Structure 1
Amino acid sequence: MTVHALFFCLRPDLATAQRLSEVSDQIALNFGLRVRPPRTERLHVTLHHLGWYDDAVAEQAGAMAEVRTLAESAAKALRHEPTRVDFDELLSFRRKPRNLPLVLSGGACLDAVRAMRAALGQRLHAAGLRIDPHFTPHLTLFYDNTPIEPQPFFVPGWDASDFHLIDSLQGRSTHVALGRWPLIAPE
């Protein structure tokens, strides 16, 4: 049995992902946190989460296939210019007492990401999919039990020229790329 989490995201290119992993290692050293193995292949900024699906339940497997078809149709219809992704804040999310996500986030520097997400959300909604109105753009570096208070921390990101549909296999630390679409300015 595998639980799948489907989501759209922006992913850094390999050179940027390696640089972000080095930033992650330096943050761990600076704050006395445990350095983790690099997770360059899983670094991303989630745009829209499309649900959790258990492949052992036939109805959920069918629902996942239907959602994927609708999501891919919406993605193909999106016309949006390439998007700059930068970060200016470091913090821990505290939704639980342990294993806290340490993330890069930001304010106005992520407005372009918010706009791109809104445009994709309109397409997903038009395709009949539910979208979550709550959104905190962020890139998770790693998880640790020590909370880090929000603080200014500028990290240059990348120019996102495409966006991705991912199937995250829960408990396996594996992301399966299902689709990739270019960001192209509307005509």
Structure 2
Amino acid sequence: MDEFASCSGARLFLAAVPDAGTAERIHQLAGVLKRAHQFDGRLIARDRLHISLFALSGLPESHLCAAWEAAMDVRTEPFEVAFDRTASFRGRPGNCPFVLIGEQGLRRLQSFRQTLGAAMARRGLRRLANTNFTPHVTLLYDARSVDEYPIEPIGWMVREFVLVRSLNGHAHLVRWPLWV
């Protein structure tokens, strides 16, 4: 649990991250879409692309330890995720996230998150487990927003989930492989 010692002031969250090849394809797609929509915002770096599962920032160390233990409790086989649309979410004024979203291709991810949430609830983190979830990958932030638009599906096989520390970049502190 020494991983938590270096987390002061950082954002902590559990996430699913694409493999390097998929991250490159997503980043290239984001560049094409940025030009097509005439966005000014900077692309999210390849190594920062992820699907947030649970935010852990600001929790006392005992709750972080409980989340760690819940993560170790999860047993499920790897699964595929696929995004088939882009859209802008509402953000702070002048700072709208432009994201990948989907539906059919994200059902296993939603099921996995429910399983992880149930493990957290069993460890006393019911409030954290009951947070809303809209699976997405943020591509960039921009002052402008655009409507939902279909794309050729892009996805990857989720074989693990990670504890991410976000402070001047992303550090993957712990990896939990998926297996039954």
State the TM-score, normalized to the length of structure 1: 0.85
- Residue 23 of structure 2 is matched in structure 1 by 17
Q: Match for 1:157: what amino acid?
A: G
- Residue 82 of structure 1 is matched in structure 2 by 78
8 Å CA contact 2:43, 2:140 repeated in 1: no
Matched, 1:175 2:170: yes
Q: SS in structure 1 opposite 2:29?
A: helix
8 Å CA contact 1:25, 1:35 repeated in 2: no
Matches of 1:98 and 1:36 in 2, distance apart? 13
- Residue 40 of structure 1 is matched in structure 2 by 46
Q: Match for 1:8: what amino acid?
A: L
- Residue 5 of structure 1 is matched in structure 2 by 11
Q: 2:99 aligns with which of 100, 103, 106?
A: 103
Residues 137 and 38 of structure 1: CA distance in aligned 2, closer, same or farther (over 3 Å)? closer
- Residue 127 of structure 1 is matched in structure 2 by 123
Q: Match for 1:77: what amino acid?
A: D
Matches of 1:83 and 1:134 in 2, distance apart? 21
Matches of 2:141 and 2:161 in 1, distance apart? 24
Query: Once the two structures are superposed, what CA deviation does each residue of 1:164-187 show, in whole Å capped at 9, x if it has no partner?
Result: 111222xx3x222221011113xx
CA RMSD of aligned residues (A): 1.8
- Residue 140 of structure 2 is matched in structure 1 by 142
Matches of 1:182 and 1:145 in 2, distance apart? 38
Query: Once the two structures are superposed, what CA deviation does each residue of 1:27-46 show, in whole Å capped at 9, x if it has no partner?
Result: 01111123635511110001
Query: Once the two structures are superposed, what CA deviation does each residue of 1:14-55 show, in whole Å capped at 9, x if it has no partner?
Result: 1111111001000011111236355111100011112x33xx
Q: SS in structure 1 opposite 2:130?
A: coil
What is the deviation of 1:66? 2.2
Q: SS in structure 2 opposite 1:34?
A: coil
Matches of 1:4 and 1:14 in 2, distance apart? 24
What is the deviation of 1:153? 2.1
State the TM-score, normalized to the length of structure 2: 0.88
8 Å CA contact 1:29, 1:35 repeated in 2: no
Q: SS in structure 2 opposite 1:3?
A: coil
Residues 49 and 38 of structure 1: CA distance in aligned 2, closer, same or farther (over 3 Å)? closer
Q: Match for 1:181: what amino acid?
A: W
